[in-house]
A and B are shown apart, each in its own frame.
Chain A
Amino acid sequence: MELKTPLYEIHLQEQGKMVSFAGYLLPVQYPTGVIQEHLAVRQRCGLFDVSHMGEFVLQGKGALKNLNQLLCNDFTGMVPGQARYSPMLNENGGIVDDLIVYYVKENCYLMVVNAANRMKDLQWIQAHLDQSATVEDHSDAIAQLALQGPLAESILKKLTDESMIPLKYYSGHFEAEVAGIRCLLSRTGYTGERGFELYCAKEDAVSLWQALREAGKEEGLIPCGLGARDTLRLEAAMPLYGHEMSDTITPLEAGLAMFVKMNKPDFIGKQALLEKGEPQRIRVGLKPLGRGIIREECPLLSEGKPAGISTSGTHAPFLGYPVAMALVETRYSTPNTRLMAEVRGRQIEAEVVALPFYKREKK
């Protein structure tokens, strides 16, 4: 059975083209199309329904200790509202999921996980907690909206007290009120652009959506679907679980070493990472030199020999050319290295390029 987010009816009203994604019916695009939605986020602002994401609350007097064992990033020294990203590893050093953890208050954390991994994650976490912490799944009670783009802040200012708008990237306010609706307002996102994510009770999702749409009229705010979410994250070279990350890909291979704190005494997967040593393959960016898009799972060759495999690829609407990410043997990972990609029975030459493809200008 396919689930509907609290904004399902809104998507129909907004003429979204609905598709099944991670068990939910969600809009892949609205009538404006993926390219216009993508450009709106880069140049103005876009609004996404990301209510399919999972939310767990981890609490107990041993919450921090358990979190630091479960996840490879270090969660020591956080302040209320602060967020930190981390992969969650299995015993072999592969990635179970990647998630964002918010510090709610002492001994209490909010974990935001990928929709497709929600049940797997919950079981994994439950199986690895000791007696001093518990985890609860609150996903069905929570809606999540993402307001992304350079004008996101000016839209929010119309609906909330300025003191409620977090100043720093990866921080939020749990007690924010936006259009009179209580929510967690955090400066986070998955687009490579300035922006916010708003978590609210599912009953309030429609009102919050409508208030943001109304407030964003002057700024040219448009609703954006899963299609633009994917092209935006890809253009910004943000990894996606199931593509750049999986049970058999380590965070070092996925280019996430900065989120792996090997100096922690222990965490699940640490021993395996130590044993594996320097990664033999690594995530890189690819820019096709020939015509066509190198999408996921295209074999890559160097002088006829296997060099790796592509993990995601699309046309990057803001850059105006196709891009792809790939896992390649480290000897092929230097920028300007030329590889051949096998795409639907033909070969497209591609060049390894530095990541990210797109980086927003700091203001």
Chain B
Amino acid sequence: MNIPTELKYTPSHEWVQFISETTARVGITDYAQEALGDIVFVNLPEIGDTVTAKEAFGDTESVKAVSDLISPLSGQVSAVNEELMDSPEKVNEDCYAAWMIEVSAIEGQEELMDAEAYAAFLKTQE
């Protein structure tokens, strides 16, 4: 299981990469993409939309199931990875390159884990 050390993680298996103190990118983890299986749709918000920590900001559909994407952050969507709309399989191929949204004007966040804590958390999920 690939868990890059420079990222932060949520218990709902999203990763957060802070670009500055108030801007970050969000995607889903290796554990999440593997659990979902072949992803065929990624539904994302639009630039300018507001997202709230611990609330859904979109969803991913795999062949097997649909799953909410939970925002780790409260703020405003400043960029969306449009490529995933047409090529959702990129999430399976490289989930840490396939960021989903960029959130700016961050004004709150849920408690995030570092890589070590997330790895320990995954052990409890088995």
Chain A residues in the interface with B (C-beta under 8 A): 28-29, 33-35, 227, 231, 291-293, 295, 314-315, 317, 322, 344
Give 10 A-B pairs besides A34-B64, A35-B38, A291-B43 with Cβ atoms closer than 8 angstroms.
A33-B37, A231-B63, A292-B41, A293-B40, A293-B41, A295-B66, A315-B41, A315-B63, A322-B40, A344-B66
Query: Which A residues are CB-close (under 8 A) to B41?
Result: 291-293, 315
A344: chain B residues within 8 A (beta carbon): 59, 66
Q: Which B residues are in CB contact (< 8 Å) with A231?
A: 63
Q: Name the one of A34, A292, A295 contacting B37, with C-beta atoms under 8 angstroms.
A: A34
- The contact sample of 22 A-B pairs, CB cut-off 8 A, is A28-B64, A34-B37, A34-B38, A34-B63, A34-B64, A227-B63, A227-B64, A231-B63, A291-B41, A291-B43, A292-B41, A292-B61, A293-B40, A293-B41, A293-B66, A295-B66, A315-B38, A315-B40, A315-B41, A317-B38, A322-B40, A344-B59
B contacts, CB < 8 Å to A: 37-38, 40-41, 43, 59, 61, 63-64, 66, 92
Which of B40, B43, B63, B92 has the largest count of A CB atoms less than 10 A from its CB?
A: B63
Assembly CA distance A344 to B38 (angstroms): 20
**B37 contacts across to A, CB distance below 8 A:** 29, 33-34, 227
Instruction: Give the chain A neighbours of B66 by CB distance below 8 A.
Output: 293, 295, 344
Nearest neighbor of B40 in chain A, beta-carbon distance: A315
Number of A-B contacts (CB under 8 A): 36
A162 smallest CB distance to B (angstroms): 37
Contacts of B61 in A (CB 8 A): 292-293, 315
Measured CB to CB, the closest approach of chain A to B2, in angstroms, equals 15
Which of B41, B43, B64, B66: most chain A Cβ within 10 A?
B64
Interface of B is mostly: strand
Whole-angstrom CA separation of A91 from B3 in the bound complex: 58
Closest to A33 in B: B38
Instruction: State A322–B37 Cα separation when bound (angstroms).
Output: 16
CB distance A35 to B43 under 8 Å? Answer: no
Q: Taking the nearest CB of chain B, how far is it from the CB of A15, in angstroms?
A: 12
A34 to B63, CA, bound (A): 7
Q: Give Cα A315–Cα B66 distance, bound, in whole angstroms.
A: 11
CB closest residue in chain B, given A35: B38
A235 vs chain B, min Cβ distance (A): 11
B92: chain A residues at CB < 8 Å are 33
CB-based nearest A residue for B63: A34
Which residues of B are found within 8 Å of A314, using beta-carbon distances? 63
The smallest C-beta distance from B41 to any residue of chain A, in angstroms, reads: 6
Neighbouring A residues of B59 by C-beta, 8 Å: 344
When C-beta atoms are compared, the residue in chain B nearest to A316 turns out to be: B63
Query: Which chain B residues lie closer than 8 Å to A34 at the CB level?
Result: 37-38, 63-64
In the bound assembly, the distance between CA atoms of A317 and B66 in angstroms comes to: 16
Tell me, in angstroms, the Cα distance from A297 to B80 when the chains sit together: 31
Which A residues are in CB contact (< 8 Å) with B64? 28, 34, 227
Residues of chain B with a CB closer than 8 A to A322's CB: 40
Give the CA-CA distance A48 to B63 in the complex, in Å: 18
For the complex, give the distance between the alpha carbons of A203 and B27 in Å: 47
Closest to A31 in B: B34
| In the bound complex, CA of A227 to CA of B64 (Å) | 7
A33 to B92, CA, bound (A): 11
- How far does the alpha carbon of A60 sit from the alpha carbon of B105 in the complex, in Å? 78
Say yes or no: A292 contacts B43, CB within 8 Å: yes
**B63 pairs with A317, CB closer than 8 A:** yes
**Top 10 A-B pairs, shortest CB-CB distance:** A315-B40, A35-B38, A34-B63, A33-B38, A315-B63, A293-B61, A34-B38, A34-B37, A33-B37, A227-B64
Q: Complex formed: what's the CA distance from A248 to B92 in Å?
A: 40
Closest-by-CB residue of B relative to A28 is B64
Provide the bound-state CA to CA distance between A33 and B34, in Å. 9
Q: How far is the CA of A29 from the CA of B38 in the complex (A)?
A: 11
Q: How far is the CB of B45 from chain A (nearest CB, A)?
A: 13
State the CA gap A34–B41 with chains docked (Å): 15
Q: For the complex, what is the distance from the CA of A295 to the CA of B40, rounded to whole Å?
A: 14
Give the shortest distance, in Å, between A227 (CB) and chain B (any CB): 6
